[in-house]
Amino acid sequence: MSSKKLLFSGIVLTTLGVILLVFWTKICTTVLHSKLVLSNTSLSFKLWKDPPIPIHLSIYLFDWENAETVIKSEWKVKPRFEEKGPFVFSEHHVREISSWNGNGTVSYQQRRIWKFVQSMSNGSLLDNITSVNPIVVILGQKVKNIRFIGPVINSILWYFDEKLYVTKTVNEWLFEGYEDPIISDLVEYHIPGVEIPFDRIGWLYSRNDSATYEGNFTVYTGINDINKLGEMNLWNGRGKTDAYDYPCSLLDGSSGELYSPFNQKQHLSIFLTDICSTLTLERNDTEEVFGIEGAKFIGTDYNFDNGSKYNRQKCFTRNSLPSGVRDISKCKYGAPAFVSYPHFYLADHSYGANVEGLKPDKARHETHITLEPNTGVPLNASAKLQLNLFVDNVKGISVFDNVVPTYMPILWFQEDASLTEKYCNLIGIFQKVLSGGFYFGYVLFGVGLFTMLFAWYSMNGLICRRRYTDLLAEEENES
């Protein structure tokens, strides 16, 4: 090959190498984003609408072991609890699209389908659990500040022989629910201020396979801005909730399973319908799943702070509560419900000091999620929260006599999901293509540069040889 052709080849190879090095990332991310955005034809939409990823919900119920002793002692003895479970359920999500909207959002409803997995559980759905009597505690909270209603409610509770505690099976506490005659009685007499918006008592009653329970979601598809992929736009047609004061009332964060690609993101916000608000996780470490490294985000003391350490959290606290719980009563029909980390992990010591049997443990009770940065795909996630009912002294209602104000643990759950090896391999292929383009660019640039130098050297050598030949010819002619 002539030197000129070599030089031209070197220029072409070097140029291609520079183009790959400069534009390869943009080319790859453009193609990737077209797959990540939600549309009728995108890959991510198919996986998001009916996810094939295995999810498990593990529920631990707190058995109030000494309920009768506590009441007979006039609360001089602390309530003692024993954690029972886990009771494990497989969980499958199905999303039903309502509309594709012109502002780059999609509206949908979500069904969660649970099935009990006996082989993974420690116990049976027929096991008996003694716990705080929810209907009694809810009624006490509702009439606490309503004059003249207390004696009426006290008479009803006495008539039905209601106590501050009740024993039911695991299934009754969770999905099946159980009937309480007080509910129908309250409906019949229409007592103002104490309306009960359900016909059975059960923490997950009427929720299994329901498309309406969690409400209507509107999230960004990412088509106009990939950084908004999966972010909440509206919930039940509104951009805020009535459960908290501003700015805690504003919708914020992801809907929970779609996240945008990121690089330097240090915080991750997730909106949860169960608490009508957002949890924020902090970037903490890295984690490897089937050879794919991701950024790990964890739940910190920020989420349930009372505003004393993080001023932004003050709007979640209506009363001067010690840090460690969030009041979700307005999210739960006025029930005195509070959410925390399991076993009051990271909470003020006073919550655990009023009860016995709880042992907070970072390894067991920390919420975390790991995302692959280039795609935003969750590699591994484990969400953990605890439900508590606040029991207080209510004047005029005898079952609350001598009660020491206590946040009584009811249950805590752990929702786990991990990307399968098959899908991790797909991410691995993308990572190899992304890095391979760079390596190939460097190779092309190096080969091209070497070819150019070689061609330049050859051309200069040829010129020198010609000049040398010409000089010899001139000397011969002169001689």
What are the DSSP calls for 8-74, one per residue? HHHHHHHHHHHHHHHHHHHHHHHHHHHHHS--TT-HHHHHHHS--S-EEEEEEEEEETTHHHHHHTT
Instruction: Give the pLDDT of residue 458.
Output: 60
Structure token digits, residue 395:
């004047």
Place of tokens 């719980």: 325
- The CA distances from residue 87 to 38, 122, 471, in Å, are 35, 6, 98
Instruction: Give the pLDDT of residue 336.
Output: 94
Instruction: Give the pLDDT of residue 75.
Output: 96
Least confident of 121-125, 366-370, 430-434: 430-434
Q: Which of 447, 427, 366, 325 is nearest to 16 (CA)?
A: 447
Residue 7 has pLDDT above 60, yes or no: no
Question: Distance between CA atoms of 171 and 181, rounded to whole angstroms?
Answer: 19
Q: Look at 346 and 183; give whichever has higher pLDDT.
A: 346
Quick: pLDDT tens for 10-58.
565 566 556 655 555 666 677 777 888 999 888 889 889 998 889 999 9
Domain residue extents for the chain: 1-53+438-478, 57-419
Question: Distance from first CA to last CA of the chain, Å, rounded?
Answer: 38
Strand partners, 294: 287
Rounded to a whole number of angstroms, the CA Rg of the chain reads 32
Res. 190 pLDDT band, cuts 50 70 90:
low
Q: Which of 32, 3, 22 is nearest to 262 (CA)?
A: 32
Quick: pLDDT tens for 225-272.
999 999 999 999 999 999 999 999 999 999 988 999 887 889 999 999
Q: Which of 4, 86, 90, 27 is nearest to 53 (CA)?
A: 90
Instruction: Give the pLDDT of residue 239.
Output: 95
Q: Look at 208 and 186; give whichever has higher pLDDT.
A: 208
Query: Please, which residues have CB within 8 angstroms of residue 368's CB and are 6 or more apart in sequence?
Result: 281, 284, 296, 297, 298, 299, 380, 381, 382
Sequence length of the chain is 479
Question: Distance between CA atoms of 233 and 103, rounded to whole angstroms?
Answer: 10
Residue 211 has pLDDT above 70, yes or no: yes
Instruction: Give the pLDDT of residue 343.
Output: 98
* Helix (H) or strand (E) segment spanning residue 111: strand 105-116
Quick: pLDDT tens for 321-365.
999 999 999 998 889 999 999 999 999 999 999 999 999 999 999
Instruction: Give the pLDDT of residue 27.
Output: 66
Q: Look at 434 and 132; give whichever has higher pLDDT.
A: 132
Quick: pLDDT tens for 423-443.
888 877 766 656 555 455 555
Residue 64 has pLDDT above 90, yes or no: yes
Least confident of 191-195, 264-268, 326-330, 474-478: 474-478
Residue 463 has pLDDT above 70, yes or no: no
pTM equals 0.87
Cβ proximity of 78 and 262 under 8 Å: no
Residue type, 5: K
Q: Which of 339, 320, 313 is nearest to 407 (CA)?
A: 339
Question: Distance between CA atoms of 233 and 326, rounded to whole angstroms?
Answer: 23
Instruction: Give the pLDDT of residue 465.
Output: 52
Question: Distance between CA atoms of 112 and 149, rounded to whole angstroms?
Answer: 39
Query: Please, which residues have CB within 8 angstroms of residue 121's CB and are 6 or more apart in sequence?
Result: 85, 86, 87, 88
**Pairing state of beta strands 277-289 and 216-220?**
unpaired
Quick: pLDDT tens for 65-101.
999 999 999 999 999 999 999 999 999 999 999 999 9
Q: Which of 295, 271, 391 is nearest to 335 (CA)?
A: 391
Cβ proximity of 288 and 304 under 8 Å: no
Least confident of 19-33, 275-289, 414-428, 447-461: 447-461
Burial of 85 (0-12, 13-18, 19+ CB in 10 A): buried
Res. 192 pLDDT band, cuts 50 70 90:
low
Mean pLDDT over each residue of the chain, to the nearest integer: 86
Question: Distance between CA atoms of 407 and 419, rounded to whole angstroms?
Answer: 36
Q: Is the dihedral of CA 440, 445, 451, 453 positive or negative?
A: negative
Instruction: Give the pLDDT of residue 468.
Output: 47
Query: Please, which residues have CB within 8 angstroms of residue 132's CB and are 6 or more apart in sequence?
Result: 64, 164, 165, 389, 391, 408, 410
Instruction: Give the pLDDT of residue 167.
Output: 98
CA angle at residue 93 from 291 to 423, to 5 degrees? 20
Cβ proximity of 216 and 109 under 8 Å: yes
Question: Distance between CA atoms of 215 and 235, rounded to whole angstroms?
Answer: 7
Report helix, strand or coil for 106.
strand
Q: What is the mean pLDDT of residues 376-400?
A: 94
Q: Which of 77, 76, 81 is nearest to 65 (CA)?
A: 81
Structure token digits, residue 444:
């092309």
Would you tell me how many other CB atoms lie within 10 Å of the CB of residue 73? 12
Q: What is the mean pLDDT of residues 410-434?
A: 85
Q: Which of 337, 437, 353, 339 is nearest to 391 (CA)?
A: 337
Residue 450 has pLDDT above 60, yes or no: no
Res. 479 pLDDT band, cuts 50 70 90:
low
Report helix, strand or coil for 166.
strand
Question: Distance between CA atoms of 135 and 147, rounded to whole angstroms?
Answer: 20
Res. 476 pLDDT band, cuts 50 70 90:
low
